[in-house]
Amino acid sequence: MNRPMIFLGLLLASTAASRARAQGFVDVNGLEALNDRPAANPRLFDVTFATAAIDPKDPVLPSASTIEQPEARARILLPASYDDGQESTYPVLFLLHGGTGSYVDWTGDGDADTLAADLELIVVMPEGGGKGWYTDWFVREADDTPRYETFHIHQLVHWIDANLRTHGTREGRAIAGLSMGGFGALSYAARHPDLFVAAVSFSGGLDMTYSPQQIIVWASGIGAAANANAIFGPYNNEPLWAHNAQQLNYRAHNPVDLVGNLGAVDLTYYSGTDNDAQIHAVNQRFHAAVEAAGFDPERSLCTSGACTIVVPGTGPRYIEETLANHSFTWWNPWLADWLPHLMDVFADPPPAPSAFEYTSADDEFAAFDYEVSMTRAVAEFATLVVAGPEGFTLDGSGAAEVTTAPIYAPGASYRVSIEDGEGVATEYTVLTDASGRLTTPLVILGPDNPYQQYQGAPSLFSTASVAITPL
């Protein structure tokens, strides 16, 4: 064998060894752990993963991609009682880092391990990419375009439940983040309210329609050696009527636009006022959206940590610090302030709602065990409003099939009355499945729109109503 072949053989062997699967963990949804929890069972340990969602460059088969991204990793903090011989289960907090940061920040700079030392809580700190923005990137480049939402929500959440002793339910799971991670925490919670019982943002960028935040996102794309529109796509039409804008994609991940989805989530958001003016402006916009959605937020004003409730309320909590800047000088004490509140929520979690509102731009979406499959010509928002077992409404265009949560008698017949977007009512007899779920006949909303929402002419939507009664 000549020298190049010897080198290639060694490189292949080295790569195989470095990607050898861990023996102590099980794979979940395509997420494979590459190292075990150390034998000494420390409370704080790191796991490196192999996943097609976040695929590190292969040294043997180099990619043409120019996108810079770190490996898929997570730092995990276990409670002190985890290895005491008991079989207790624990709630989980997913703690997200900020822009230009990494998964080690919350322990390296934020003292999360110290702050949570006495809590019966598992803390998971995943890698989100310094410029990742907690989303599946819009622009695909070879197979190396990062899909952070897939990694975190569809893989890591379930991997943690499969490999650690967690409650494994929404009532035992929360999410938090700082700056870019504050956006990620509230975006994930709004897109997946059935996964998280509580969410908090520390100095988060909470409005993608705010032009200073868009500039930061565009710069992130360039900084990742991709392009300015790689992450969410182009925001505006260039030229006008070119129909290439992806403002809908921005809004489909935007806490301000999805605030109505957060009704069942215990919600808190912190921001500075004077020394972090841009972040304060975007948090003010989010707070206005919270109020417009009909919530009853509590607003507190603090100076050096001494806080006064200036507007009492029963809903989300908005906490403003006059002296705060954009640093761990404030994120650290804010986490310390919020953790006792989180543990109170875990001790007495609100149940999953039987009535809720959920908005999504996905063709297929699900919330609280309801599943919606849209049939339409273009991408746009649709809103499902569930009143309870008696029925629901759906707002959008085109048509949809809806499968309910398992809340009906299994194998029973129900009368389903569908009033379409034109006001025409049709009655059907529908049999539930063995779990008590009911799938509607096609729900007709109205004519398809000709352009993707926010790409040109205003979109027109209709509302269909579905009433369900037992026979």
Phi, psi angle pair for 464, to nearest 5°: -105, 145
Token pair 């929500």 is found at 153
The band of 7, judged by pLDDT with boundaries at 50, 70 and 90, is very low
Amino acid 143: pLDDT = 60
Give the confidence band of 57 by pLDDT, cuts at 50, 70, 90: low
pTM of the full structure: 0.94
Give the model's confidence band at 141: pLDDT under 50 very low, under 70 low, under 90 confident, else very high.
Answer: low
Task: Give 232-255 pLDDT, tens digit per residue.
Answer: 998 886 666 566 789 999 999 999
Q: Tell which residue, 253, 272, 148, 117, has the closest CA to residue 203.
A: 272
Query: What is the per-residue pLDDT across 376-400, written as a single tens digit (0 to 9) for each?
Result: 999 999 999 999 999 999 999 999 9
At 335, the amino acid letter reads L
Q: Which residues lie closer than 8 Å to 239 by C-beta, 6 or more apart?
A: none
Q: How many CB atoms lie within 10 A of CB 245?
A: 21
**Best CA proximity match to 127, nearest among 154, 94, 159:** 94
ω into 193 cis (within 30 of 0): no
pLDDT for 144 beyond 50: yes
Task: Give 263-273 pLDDT, tens digit per residue.
Answer: 999 999 999 99
Provide CB contacts within 8 A for 310, sequence distance 6+. 299, 300, 301
* CB crowding 273-304: b at 16 or more within 10 Å, else e: beebeebbebbbbbbebbbebebebbbbbbee
- Percentage of residues in the chain having pLDDT higher than 90: 82
If one counts every other C-beta atom within 10 angstroms of the C-beta of residue 210, the result is 18
DSSP H helical segments within 19-124, as ranges?
105-108, 112-115
Pairing of strands 72-77, 44-50: antiparallel
**Which residues in 181-190 are b (16+ Cβ under 10 Å) and which e?**
bbbbbbbbbb
What is the side-by-side strand order in the sheet with 398-403?
364-367, 370-375, 398-403, 443-446
The β-bridge partners of 201 are: 177, 269
Q: Give 213-221's long-range contacts (Cβ < 8 A, gap of 24+).
A: 213/282, 214/250, 216/99, 217/133, 220/99, 220/131, 220/133, 221/131
pLDDT at 6 over 90: no
Q: Specify the pLDDT at position 127.
A: 98
pLDDT of residue 145: 85
3-state class percentages of the chain: helix first, strand second, coil last, to nearest 5: 25, 25, 50
Measured CA to CA in angstroms, residue 344 lies from 94, 103, 369, 431 at distances of: 17, 26, 26, 42
